[in-house]
């Protein structure tokens, strides 16, 4: 009887102090937002379907890692806009006959995340005075002789870009 009271007296203040904390992956994201509208990412690249592939990867990453629901309605709680700013391919290594042995692809994406009620959510952390946007870049290399292709390298870069974008949607500590 006395032991139970003593435990209650000790645990009650501890638990009361932790009442505002959240546990689990949902605690990383804003609780006031439930839905995200992700229109097709714009692409300045001449490569076909790059914007569509990146949009699909970002949507899957949001659905898989966040408590947010991606909707196809522009009236969602928030809007995530993205634009592929550049896409480049360059040779890293050649053989003596100038045949490419290793090639690299670079993707640079600019992302804006808006809250319908309060305005901009995600902004640049590198340059606070710069235009309000977040730029992320990813690079992937491939070796044609090993059966790899430009499409597989781009898909690898797209997956990593999608992970970076969704990681930036987490609340700051």
Return the pLDDT at 61.
95
Distance CA 56, CA 41 (A): 9
Residue 8 tokens read as: 């209650």
Q: What is the pTM of this model?
A: 0.71
Return the pLDDT at 27.
64
Residue whose structure tokens are 């309605």: 73
Return the pLDDT at 15.
57
Q: Give the residue with greater pLDDT, 41 vs 17.
A: 41
Give percent of the chain with pLDDT exceeding 70.
68
Position 132 pLDDT exceeds 50: no
pLDDT single digits (tens) 138-162: 667 766 766 677 777 778 888 888 8
User: Would you list the domain boundaries of the chain?
Assistant: 30-168
pLDDT single digits (tens) 27-80: 677 788 899 999 999 987 777 888 899 999 999 999 999 999 999 988 888 899
Return the pLDDT at 167.
86
Q: Which CATH architecture has domain 30-168?
A: 2-Layer Sandwich (3.30)
3-state secondary structure the chain: CHHHHHHHHHHHHHHHHCCCCCCCHHHHCCCCCCEEECCCCEECCCCCCHHHHHHHHHHHHHHHHCCCEEECCCCCCEEEEEEEEEEEEEEEEECCCCCEEEEEEEEEEEEEEEECCCEEEECCCCCCCCCCCEEEEEEEEECHHHCCCHHHHHHHHHHHHHHHHHHHCCCCC
């Amino acid at each position: 009887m006395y032991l139970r009271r003593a435990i209650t007296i000790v645990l009650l203040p501890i638990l009361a102090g932790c009442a505002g904390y959240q546990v689990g992956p949902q605690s990383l994201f804003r609780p006031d937002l439930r839905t995200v509208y992700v229109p097709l990412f714009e692409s300045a690249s001449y490569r076909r379907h790059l914007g569509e592939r990146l949009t699909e990867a970002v949507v899957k990453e949001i659905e898989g890692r966040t408590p947010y629901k991606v909707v196809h309605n522009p009236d969602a709680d928030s809007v995530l806009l993205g634009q592929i700013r550049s896409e480049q391919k360059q040779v890293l290594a050649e053989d003596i006959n100038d045949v490419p042995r290793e090639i690299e692809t670079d993707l640079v994406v600019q992302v804006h995340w808006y809250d319908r009620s309060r305005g901009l959510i995600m902004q640049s952390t590198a340059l606070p005075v710069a235009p309000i946007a977040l730029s992320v870049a990813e690079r992937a290399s491939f070796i044609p002789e090993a059966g790899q292709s430009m499409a597989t390298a781009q898909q690898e870069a797209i997956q990593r870009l999608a992970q970076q974008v969704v990681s930036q949607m987490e609340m700051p500590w």
